[in-house]
Amino acid sequence: MHVKKLLLLLSVINMSITYGSELKSDEHVLFIPNIAYQTPDNKLAISIQAWVYEKERRPGMTTLLTKYLGIDKDTLTPEEYELLYQRSQLFRVDSERGKVLSIKLNNTTYTLPKTDKGGVTNQVIYLNTIPSQQNNHSISYSISDLNLPESTNTGLSFFSPDIGLSVISDIDDTIKDSKVLDQKQLLINTFIKPFKAINSMRDWYQQMAKKGISFHYLSSSPIQLYPALKDFMDKAQFPTGSVHLREATTWHSIIPTGDDSRNHKLSTLEKLLNAYPKRQFILIGDSGEADPEIYAQMMKKYPTQVKCIAIRNVTNEDEQSPRYKQLFAGVDSYKWQIFTDPTTIINTCAPRE
């Protein structure tokens, strides 16, 4: 009898692993804004990324997290502690593996692949209807189970026509003052200080958006920080666009290794350039980490698509530094620029009025 019960239990577990399970009422879904594009056979491809998690009570988790980050929580002001608590909330959850999401898109229900061990599911849905040829045209979809929390029900993908100009922008130290070169200060600015926009970059991006340029934001920050980053970009009035964050859904992977960051950015850049093979791209980043090296690699691989590289100088290295002479050897000087003030490169990296 016990053997039969054991076999039945194992069968149920195996079916759950193989086919996945539906969402429970206490599980949440976080959609990350993605892209939509026209395929060579004139279909509409809509990329969807979602993370499924369950909130957990974890006494002492904030103390453990601050120790890992090297932050003394006893020295924090009440305002700093509140920010720490808010921004670390999604590092205190359980990622839900094997969950199957059903979404509604254009009055049709689609089932996404079951979530992986990190609680993430990715899918491209193909439709026969192409939307208006407007840059950053948003396509919305929602979880079909209305019993889930309303705040997590809706996702967006941004459509850009197959021909045009797009910006792929880093976030930290490119549009947000983060101090990436100082890891302790970076963590302080990420978790306990209000995010600070680089206003000159915001002004430049707004000018480009008015010219019909599409935007994609690429960062090695983990997806747990997406709500805080979205709030920051909305309040600072950066143009809307797709957001591509690192799929790291455990608290001890907050700080990426060099390889993690590089691989994430390279794979995302490949995805974006391959999705829009006829579009041109401006790649914008900073000199603090490997943006120049990654972007130079992509320019050499996709010379007709990468129109320009713009690197915000945070390391006091000008165009004559050995780093850039080696990276951009043989590349026309007008196709890359190191800058402090973005107004100096507007006519280089964006179309004239």
Residues 229, 154 within the same domain = no
For the cut 90, the answer to whether the pLDDT of residue 71 exceeds it is no
Q: Which two tokens stand for residue 35?
A: 């892209």
The candidate with the shortest Cα–Cα distance to 53, out of 31, 27, 33, 32, is: 27
Q: What is the pLDDT of residues 139-174, one digit of tens each?
A: 999 987 655 554 457 899 999 999 999 999 999 999
Q: Assess whether 171 and 316 both reside in one domain.
A: yes
pLDDT at 17 > cutoff 70: no
Q: Are residues 279 and 176 in the same domain?
A: yes
Residue ending a domain, among 132, 159, 186, is 159
Average pLDDT over residues 41-48: 94
The predicted pLDDT at position 130 comes to 77
Q: Check whether residue 40 and residue 189 sit in a common domain.
A: no
Residues 174 and 260 in one domain: yes
Are 197 and 320 in a shared domain? Answer: yes
pLDDT digits (tens, 9 = 90+) for 188-206: 899 999 999 999 999 999 9
Measured between its terminal Cα atoms, the distance across the chain in Å is: 81
Same domain, 184 and 200: yes
Task: Kindly state whether residue 260 falls inside one of the protein's structural domains.
Answer: yes
Domain final residue, candidates 159, 178, 202:
159
User: Does residue 5 lie in a domain region?
Assistant: no
d(CA 162, CA 284): 21
Q: Total domain count for the chain? A: 2
Mean pLDDT of 98-116: 93
CATH code for the domain in which residue 169 is found = 3.40.50.1000
In a domain, 250, yes or no: yes
- pLDDT band for position 353 (cuts 50, 70, 90): very low
Q: What is the mean pLDDT of residues 119-145?
A: 84
Alpha helices in the chain (DSSP H): 2-19, 61-69, 78-87, 183-191, 199-210, 226-236, 258-275, 291-301, 322-327, 346-349
Q: How confident is the model at residue 9 (pLDDT cuts 50, 70, 90)?
A: very low
- Residue 59: per-residue pLDDT: 66
Mean pLDDT of the chain: 86
Residue 32's contacts (CB-CB under 8 Å, 6 or more residues apart) are 49, 50, 51, 155, 223, 226, 243, 244, 245
In a domain, 65, yes or no: no
pTM above 0.95, yes or no: no
Are 237 and 329 within one domain? yes
Task: Tell me the three state secondary structure of residue 148.
Answer: coil
Residue 111 lies in a domain: yes
Query: Comparing 121 with 185, which gets the higher pLDDT?
Result: 121
Tell me: pLDDT of 263 over 70. Answer: yes
Query: Is residue 75 one of the residues assigned to a domain?
Result: no
| Each residue's pLDDT tens digit, 194-250 | 999 999 999 999 999 999 999 999 999 999 999 999 999 999 999 999 999 998 755
Q: Taking residues 308-315, report their average pLDDT.
A: 96
Domain boundary among 159, 179, 210: 159
Co-location of 270 and 333 in the same domain: yes
pLDDT at res. 133: 61
CATH of the domain at 154: 2.60.40
Give a yes or no: residue 11 inside a domain: no
Asked whether residue 241 is assigned to any structural domain, the reply reads: yes
Residue 11 pLDDT grade (very low, low, confident, very high; cuts 50, 70, 90): very low
Higher-pLDDT residue of 284 and 153 is 284
pLDDT at 257: 64
Which residue has better confidence, 85 or 173? 173
**Which secondary structure element, helix H or strand E, spans residue 182, and what is its range?**
none
- Are 149 and 183 within one domain? no
pLDDT given for residue 144 in this prediction: 78
Same domain? 101 vs 170: no
What's the confidence (pLDDT) of residue 256?
65
Q: Range of 111's domain?
A: 21-55+94-159
Query: Do residues 149 and 174 share a domain?
Result: no
